[in-house]
Amino acid sequence: MNELFGTLSDGTPVHRWTLERAGVRVRILSYGGIVQDVEVPDRDGRTGNVVLGFTGLDGYVAHPEPFLGALIGRYANRIAGARFTLDGVERTLTPNDGPNSLHGGERGFDKRVWDVTGVEHGLRLSLVSEDGEEGFPGRLEVTVTYTLDERGALHIAYEAVTDAPTHVNLTNHTYWNLAGSGSAAGHELRLAASRWTPSGPDLIPAGDLADVSGTRYDFREARKTGSGYDDNFVLDKGVTQAAEEVAELYDPASGRVLTLATTEPGIQVYTADHIGEPFEPGAGIALETQHFPDSPNRPEFPGTVLRPGEVFRSETVYGFSTR
């Protein structure tokens, strides 16, 4: 189902699509490719929305910083000093997080209106990022496909091609609250991650990868998330061709379970301590599957360079159940 959701100040219409299968309903906007609503049942069969979002377009335009439910690019997370050197050429990006580049710059993919077409059990979103946008080289053609499978799991598949060498790191920035309201701090999280990337106050990786053993970053056995996290975890599986399960989020009150599988090597866990109005701190948890922050300046990290003739591919799958 496709309906008009609102109109931007320049007159551009924004539409909302609804996908429904196996008891799961998902609503997606053409603005930012935003996942506005995900409705799933609790252990008693009562259906509720489990993601943070606004009921109208004005909310997303007025409060862009949380990146609620949006597609993020060209580069998810931070690039130190808003610059990198690629093939011997230094590139200067748009700084929008102090001196650093965050989530693609001032006008990343979260603020673009995507072209949307229907596919079987889903939607295909596409856009073109022209050479030089936010300082990134190369004309980048991006396609993101949202589908619901026969079990009601939400698949997000990313593809991109370029006409010049560039860096690409794409993700979705949905905040999950499996209780449907209140704080998500009591959710229990399990991560297949034995290491993480310590960072400084600017959230740029500050040194080598660190072992989570004996630290507050050890989620290898499920425990409550609490608060105070905006960190990249290094998934034990690394980069994979097919999505592998790496995380589980559980709300003991509702019984809802979110499982997460991905091809990506990392996951940024953000407990929304600084999410801003109108939401309370800790209202949701973002689980952003991606490559590591500042990878363009850290050759020891898994690479994010995309070259002409190559195809960037990535997939993340969100499964829903109860116990």
pLDDT 10s digits, 5-22: 999 999 999 999 999 999
Type of residue numbered 37: D
Cα Rg of the chain, angstroms:
19
Task: Look up residue 23 and give its amino acid.
Answer: G
How many Å apart are CA 129 and CA 232, to the nearest integer?
Answer: 26
Model's pTM, two decimal places? 0.98
What is the Cα–Cα distance from 158 to 173, expressed in whole angstroms?
14
Contacts with 20 (C-beta within 8 Å, 6 or more apart), sequence order: 26, 148
pLDDT, one tens digit per residue, over 201-213 is 999 999 899 999 9
Which residues, in sequence order, are bridge partners of residue 143? Answer: 126, 159
Helices (H), 87-166: none
**Is residue 130 over pLDDT 90?**
yes
279-288 pLDDT, tens per residue?
999 999 999 9
- In this predicted model, what pLDDT tens digit does every residue of 26-39 receive, in sequence order? 999 999 999 999 99
Residue 217: what pLDDT? 98
If you average pLDDT over residues 219-225, what whole number do you get?
A: 98
Give bridge partners of residue 122 from the DSSP assignment: 119, 147
User: What pLDDT digit, counting tens, does each position of 99-112 carry?
Assistant: 999 999 999 999 99
What average pLDDT score do residues 187-205 get? 97
Domains of the chain, CATH where assigned: 2-322 (2.70.98.10)
pLDDT band at 1 (very low <50, low <70, confident <90, very high): confident
Catalytic residues: 173, 288
